[in-house]
Amino acid sequence: MDCIFCKIAAGEIPSDRVYEDEFVLAFRDIHPQAPVHALVVPKKHMKNLLECDDGTAVAVLNAVKAVAKSEGVSESGFRAVTNCGPDGAQSVEHLHFHVLGGRQLSGRMG
Ligand code: 5GP
Ligand code: ZN
């Protein structure tokens, strides 16, 4: 499958990893939109949140929390967001949560 995040999870494309466990990988976004901008992805391919099973949902959200802590934004605050489908501006069709922080984020959500 020609999926960039599957290739990153497999180590075929390099990434700046910030978290990894059995089910989940997190790495820095190549075009960061905040001082902290990580992507949390399940190692198993799924297109977006609509395909996410219960176990993966728990693993991904726990990884979001771990990344927020290890990146030093759990106290200052952060945003975790997943874009879904065309109107959601999803550009990579492999489920991922953006973890953004390290500055005051806009109150606008879109
Ligand atoms: P989306 O628009 O689908 O919600 O987010 C996709 C994100 O993946 C974008 O923020 C984009 O910068 C990031 N991205 C795309 N290709 C790569 C890559 O090869 N490496 C990394 N680290 N990030 C990527
Ligand atoms: Zn994939």
Q: Which residues are catalytic?
A: 96
Distance of CA 68 to the CA centre of its chain: 11
Instruction: Note whether residue 109 is domain-resident.
Output: no
Residue pair 17/25 in contact (Cβ under 8 Å)? The answer is yes
Instruction: Note whether residue 56 is domain-resident.
Output: yes
**Is residue 57's pLDDT more than 80?**
yes
CATH number at residue 82: 3.30.428.10
What would the pLDDT profile of 87-99 be if each residue is shown by its tens digit?
A: 999 999 999 999 9
Q: For residues 39 and 9, give the distance between their C-alpha atoms in angstroms, rounded to a whole number.
A: 12
Instruction: Note whether residue 8 is domain-resident.
Output: yes
The residue segments making up the domain with residue 72 are 4-101
Spell out the long-range contacts of 87-93 with Cβ–Cβ below 8 A and sequence spacing 24 or more.
90/48, 92/3, 92/4, 92/5, 93/3, 93/47, 93/48
Q: Which ligand is nearest to the CA of 10?
A: 2
Instruction: Note whether residue 107 is domain-resident.
Output: no
Domain count, the chain: 1
Q: For residues 102 and 65, give the distance between their C-alpha atoms in angstroms, rounded to a whole number.
A: 15
Q: Which ligand is nearest to the CA of 84?
A: 1
pLDDT at 52: 98
Give the pLDDT mean for 27-40. 98
Predicted model pTM: 0.98
Instruction: Note whether residue 110 is domain-resident.
Output: no
Average of per-residue pLDDT values in the chain = 97
**Predicted confidence band of residue 3 (pLDDT cuts 50, 70, 90):** very high
What would the pLDDT profile of 59-87 be if each residue is shown by its tens digit?
A: 999 999 999 999 999 999 999 999 999 99
H-helix or E-strand spanning residue 92? none
Instruction: Note whether residue 95 is domain-resident.
Output: yes
Question: Which residues line the pocket of ligand 1, CB cutoff 6 A?
Answer: 4, 13, 15, 27-31, 39, 83, 89-92
**Is residue 1's pLDDT more than 80?**
no
Instruction: Note whether residue 29 is domain-resident.
Output: yes
How far away, in angstroms, is 10 Cα from ligand 2 center?
Answer: 10
Instruction: Note whether residue 33 is domain-resident.
Output: yes
